Every structure is written in structure tokens, then in C-alpha cells.
Amino acid sequence: MTIKVGLASDHRGVHIKARLLQTLQREGFEVCDQGTDSTDPVDYPDFAIRVAEQIRDGKLDRGILICGTGIGMAIVANKFHGVRAASCYDEVIVEMSRRHNDVNVLCLPGDLIGERPVDELVLMWLRTDFECGRHTQRVDKITAIDSIDTPDINRGV
């Protein structure tokens, strides 16, 4: 089964997005490019919404969002039911986000990643499976929050 990946950035991540688009296509992933394609200033929520909606609706399996820090994109994406987004910047965080948290949207810091091998980070994330086991119960609790309006922070404690 081919993994369907949504890819979007704001103007501060457009250079990384272009590189990742080529890498992912070359590696056989089905990629849905959601913009931007310019270094002209844009608002990152507009692009995070595009990918998060498709994750929520089951049209994409995973999403990759890139802005200056990755934090803004993660905040927006996490507003959508069924989305588990995390801002990641190194191998340990990338791997653990998948193994323990079943993160389905990777948010990257376009300004902070420097010369790190971003292609390798993304491929590691896409190829890392969720460990299940004891982590399933925890992810299920996170997922259950989607069905309530106001979380009771004492629930289950």
C-alpha cells in the first residue's frame, strides 16, 4: 500500500518543501502538494488547514508541514479531529513521535533545521511504525478527547 502524504509550507519552508517533494516522489510515496510555491509572505494557518482537513477526512495517511519553527503549523493541525501533529527536529524526536505517539502530521522548522539531513528525517518518520502495546491505550485517550467539548483534566486519573 502506498502512503498518501500531504505536503505544505509557508514562505519560510518553501525551499525544504521543494526538496522533500522530489525525495518523496522518488521514494514512491503518493504526494499531494498543498503549497505554497513562493517565498512571498503567506499565513501558515492557511496551509496547515489544507493538510489537516484531508487527514481528518481520511484522504491522506500522513502530513508534513513546514514553517519557521514548526510550532505554529502543529498548533493549527492539532485543532482537527484525528490529527496528532508534532514539531520535530532531530532523529530521536522524529522516531519517538511515531513509535510512541502515532503522530500523523510531522511539523518541521524551516528556519532551524540548518544543514541537517531533512530528507533522511522525513523518510525515517514515514517508515517508522507505531509500536502499539502500552502506547495504544495512551493514544486512545488522546483520540477520545476529540469526542468531547471540554476536556476534564482529571478524567482517568
Residues with catalytic function:
67, 100
Q: Any idea of the CA torsion for 64, 72, 38, 33, to the nearest 10 degrees?
A: 20
Helix (H, G, I), strand (E, B), or coil: what is residue 60? coil
CA distances from 17 to 80, 85, 141 (A): 22, 17, 32
**Per-residue DSSP letter, 56:** H
What 8-state DSSP symbol labels residue 5?
Answer: E
Q: How far apart are CA 15 and CA 38, in angstroms?
A: 9
Q: CB-based burial of residue 78 (10 Å sphere; 0-12 exposed, 13-18 middle, 19+ buried)?
A: middle
- Rounded Cα distance between 143 and 132, Å, is 14
